[in-house]
Structure formats: structure tokens, C-alpha cells
Chains A and B, each alone.
Chain A
Amino acid sequence: MPELATAVESLSLVIEIGGMPVRVHTTDPDFLAMLQDRYAGFVTSADSAASAEIDFDIDLTSPGSADPDADVRVTHQQGRWTLTRGDFRAEWEPVLRRGWIRQTANPYSIDAVLRIVHTLVLARQGGFLLHSASAIRNGKAFLFAGVSEAGKTTISRLAPPDVTLLTDEISYVRKNGRRDDAGYIAFGTPFTGELAKLGENVSARVAALYLLAKGSENRIDPVPPGEAARSLLANLLFFAQDEELVQSTFHAAFEFVSRVPIARLTFVPDARIWELIR
């Protein structure tokens, strides 16, 4: 008897950022290859991460009039997160560790979904994603926060060879275990800015957060705690319209300010700035 339907092979890979493995499933080998290229250095085989934190099924749709510049909307209802933007729709149930993403075959939509999902997971753990470059030097991680044009890409580009770049755009910060005095860890991310270079998939304890400012000389100045907190909050990535998570993220920012040195780093765009960062 002839088969009435042909089984469609499901292809998978695991994208592990910040120590959190997310497995994605697709039936499109070209899309899988694109993801492997896009997240090179952050991809492990589907088999090596048996207990992925989340499994996402990708439902690829035909190209249409999707608008990636439309506002992101992230809502939580009855244990299920719904993520929407002009170019994607996704749902995720944390208890089941499963979700799906409906998008066209492009790398930007899933990238946005991953950023959002990581912010939601981190918010419950006292961590966050931050608009900042970050790098490791002498075994210590340094964060360089600022809005667009503040100098994140510039300071990343000026880094000397002994510096390991974690990201030039979005830093990944997680509490180091449950102890309050254990500090924070910064992880490399594949979330790139103008430098268009993936960060290294390594991590180190955060030694300082610098608020970037361009000026006529290189110097580091102290920042009052209130200003530090406001600056940190202004640079956090946060998407959810959820009161509980807003409160968690707010308190996480203040915990960070109370435990990590924060200063203003004024710099002229040349490599000597790294003489101050050790």
C-alpha cells in the first residue's frame, strides 16, 4: 500500500547564549544552515544539549508585507508569553519549556525573539541584557554602556589584542549564583552592532560598568549612585508589559548598582583609552 504522506524531517540545532540552551526545530535545511552561520560559536548540536531550556518550533511563512520596524508587544497571560512584531509572532510556555515562532526565513526575527526570551528569563534571575559593549581583560569583564553613537562600537574597535570582545552592542549579565555577594557574570553574545562581529562565547566576573561619554581627554570619573541607577535603567533592554517583571528588573538594576563599581568613562577616540581599563 503506498504511503499517503511523506514524513517531514525535523532539523534542529541548539543556540546557547549566557549558558541557556535554546533548541530550535525547522523543516527547512536552508534556514537551518543560515542559523548555523548566524550563530556560529554559539551553536551546539541538538543532541549535545539534551535538556534545552526551551524548544521552539519554527513555522516559516511566505514573504509578505511584514514590518520589522513595528513595535514589539510582549504579553503574559495564563502562563503563556506572546511576542509579536510586524515580522513575527511567537508563543512560549515556560512551564512546558516549549514554544513556536512564525516568521519568514530571515535571521532578524528569530534574533529578536531570542533577545526577548533571554530578557524574560534573566529578569526572574536578577540578570538583564544591557545596551553596552563588553569585553574581558585580565580575567575581568568590563561593560561600556551608552545609547546609539555613545561609542560602544568605537571602544570595541579600539580594543588591543589582549582584550576578548564579548559584544559591541548587547551585553548579557547574570547573577553569579544565588549568593548576594557573589557578583555578576558577563557572557559573550552573538548580538552585534555596527562592528558586525560576533562576541566570543566566554564569560567572566563583572569588574566595572562604565557609562560612555565622548570628550577631549581620557578619564574616569565617579558617578553618584542615583545617576548610576538611572543610567543603568535607561540602557536596559526590556520589552514585557508585565508588572511583576518590571518590578523584578527594577530591583535587579539597583542590586547591580549596589554591588558593581559604576563610573563615567570619557574618551577621545584612540586606543589609549584602554590604558585606563585593566
Chain B
Amino acid sequence: MSKLYMARNPRVAARSLDGEMMIMSGRDSTLFTLNRTATILWQAADGATPLDEIVELRICHEFDVDRSQALQDAESLARELATHEILRISEEPIAQPATQSGSSAGEAR
């Protein structure tokens, strides 16, 4: 099975408020509130860490779920986030624009 890599779309604005991650599309101003799993994917989407590693280290660790099922669900979720242009996904590592804080261009806390 091929690897899947995710990177945050720098064209969205993101904020974490009291544990809730909210993202607004810069294209059409649609507001998204991410659930806990989507928030983990967003926060871990550095373009370099493959999805299976994120699932292993972050999702299985936090939710105590079966690894293969968790990976399948996470991939489905990542693809859905990509259709909304919140994440970019690729089977190759994705170069991210350099940021000062290490967070995405659109994110602030």
C-alpha cells in the first residue's frame, strides 16, 4: 500500500479556540469546525510525515482503536478534507512554505 502525505493548505485561515479547531476557506469563506480526529490530522499535516505514522503515533495512541481500521478511516477523512481544500494530499512528500512559528501560514492560536 502506498504512503499518503498531507500538508495544510496555506490559503485557509485556522484558529484553535478552547480545543476547537476552526478553519475558513480563503476561496469562498466557508467555515469548518474540525472534530478531534480531523484536528489531529490538521496539526500533524507537515507534508513529510506519512499518514500511517500519524495514525500509529497519534490516533491509535489517543483513541485505542484497531490500527488498520483507524488508517482506513483516517485516509477517508484526509481525502474529504482535501476535497474541501483544507489539506493537500499526495503519495509523495509535500514541500511546505517556510513559516516563522512552525505552524501553517493561516494558523494562529
Residues of A within 8 A of B (CB): 224-226, 229-230, 233-234, 238, 241, 243-244, 246-247, 250-251, 254, 257-258
Q: Which residues of B contact A254 (CB under 8 A)?
A: 15, 17, 108
Instruction: Give every chain A residue within 8 A of B33 (Cβ-Cβ).
Output: 226, 230
- Cβ-defined contact, B27 with A243, below 8 A: yes
Given A246-B29, A247-B106, A251-B108: A229 and B22 interface contact (C-beta under 8 Å): yes
Would A246 and B20 count as touching, CB distance under 8 A? no
Q: Can you name the residue of chain B whose Cβ is closest to the Cβ of A245? A: B26
Give the one of B13, B20, B33, B108 with max A CB within 10 A.
Answer: B13
Tell which of A225, A226, A257 has the most Cβ of chain B within 10 Å: A226
The answer to whether B26 touches A247 (Cβ under 8 A) is yes
B26 close to A246 (CB less than 8 A): yes
Number of B positions contacting A (CB below 8 A): 17
Q: Which of B18, B24, B25 contacts A233, CB < 8 Å?
A: B24
From B11, B15, B18, B28, contact of A250 by CB (8 A): B15
Provide the residues of chain A in CB contact with B28, threshold 8 Å. 241
Instruction: State the CA gap A238–B26 with chains docked (Å).
Output: 12
* Interface secondary structure of A, over-half rule: helix
Chain A residues positioned under 8 Å from B20 (CB to CB): 225-226
**Given A243-B26, A246-B24, A250-B24, A226 and B17 contact (CB-CB distance below 8 Å):** yes
Contacts of A234 in B (CB 8 A): 31
8 contacts between A and B (CB under 8 A): A226-B20, A233-B24, A244-B26, A247-B106, A250-B15, A250-B24, A254-B108, A258-B17
Q: Take A246-B29, A251-B108 as given contacts and tell me if A229 and B17 are in contact as well, using a CB distance cutoff of 8 Å.
A: yes
> CB-CB < 8 A to B17: which residues of A?
225-226, 229, 254, 257-258
Residues of chain A with a CB closer than 8 A to B108's CB: 251, 254
A225 to B22, CA, bound (A): 11
